[in-house]
Amino acid sequence: MPEGPEIWRAAARLGEVLDDRVVEAVEFTQPRLHNYGPVLSGSRVRRVEARGKAVVTHFDNGLYLYSHNQLYGRWYVRKRGQLPATARTLRAALHTAAHSALLYSASDIEVLDEAGLAHHSYLARLGPEALAQNVHWRDIAARLRDPAFAGRRLSSLYLDQHFVAGIGNYLRSEILFDAGLHPARRPRDLGRGDLGALARSTLVITRRSLRTGGVTNPDARASKLKRQGLSYGAYRHAVFARAGEPCYACDTAIRRETMGSRRIYLCPTCQPEA
């Protein structure tokens, strides 16, 4: 599933062709949304924004297009009249005079008014955005100390969008490795230094992924591995999807475990259980 950095990049691409532009035609392929096509056609897009793992498109007629990619959804931007080469199923199309924003394979799509947006079951429960520049590491540290979160294992907490929005499976593994914390630990058992380190890692790793197009390894390491001829998938992460390979910090074999029905990766030496 795309995580916050991927959704923020998608929203930015959409904004480049939709923000402050009139959508001449809007089409939906799902029958329950058909009637909204004529309602939105001819309106102007005020802005496109990412919220957690969702994209919200604001129209000047007071309506909003909400979409969550889930596992298979994907936005494409093309010159108008062109379609991507994909086997995915078209769900929504927004056409300006020059471009088309095309949403494929997503099933979680809604057209909302102001009240619907404010009370949306997903959006209303989002925690602070890890990628928002006005969010400070101290804000994350305060969340970690909050009794609502402090007693939970980090493995589950870091997939909860109510805790911090935009973090998913690969970011969870990379953040905990960067902070040197085992995923079974709980915030209430951590000292002040560990809490601060974890809060900082939460923002540093997530924002690095946004800046680099998904690379969570430090810049110097990623550049070195790339020069050695490794593929993007091979130099992208420190621990995620690297089971059995040596840790970059200590050479211990990276371990894959299952927590909360999701795979997670860790270094047993750099991330001791206690």
Per-residue pLDDT reduced to its tens digit, 6-58: 999 999 999 999 999 999 999 999 999 999 999 999 999 999 999 999 999 99
Query: Do residues 178 and 204 make contact, with C-beta atoms less than 8 angstroms apart?
Result: yes
> CB neighbours of 157 closer than 8 A, spacing ≥ 6?
149, 163, 187
Query: Rounded CA gap, 116 and 62, in Å?
Result: 11
Residue 274 has pLDDT above 80, yes or no: no
Query: Do residues 66 and 54 make contact, with C-beta atoms less than 8 angstroms apart?
Result: yes
From 204, 203, 200, 229, select the one nearest 219 (Cα to Cα).
204
Residue 185 has pLDDT above 80, yes or no: yes
Q: Do domains 4-125 and 137-266 have the same CATH topology?
A: no
Helix residue spans in the chain (DSSP H): 4-18, 36-40, 114-118, 137-145, 147-150, 154-157, 169-179, 192-212, 219-227, 232-235
Q: pTM of this prediction? A: 0.94
Per-residue pLDDT reduced to its tens digit, 116-163: 999 999 999 999 999 999 999 999 999 999 999 999 999 999 999 999
Domain extent listing, the chain: 4-125, 137-266
Residue 213 CB neighbours (<10 A): 11
- CA dist list (Å): 153 to 39, 127, 158, 184: 46, 17, 9, 5
> 137-266: what fold?
Helicase, Ruva Protein; domain 3 (1.10.8)
CATH class of 4-125: alpha beta
Beta bridge pairs of residue 68: 54, 108
- CA 91: distance to chain centroid? 21
Which residues are tagged catalytic?
Answer: 2-3, 53, 262
Query: Is the torsion defined by CA of 210, 216, 220, 222 positive or negative?
Result: negative
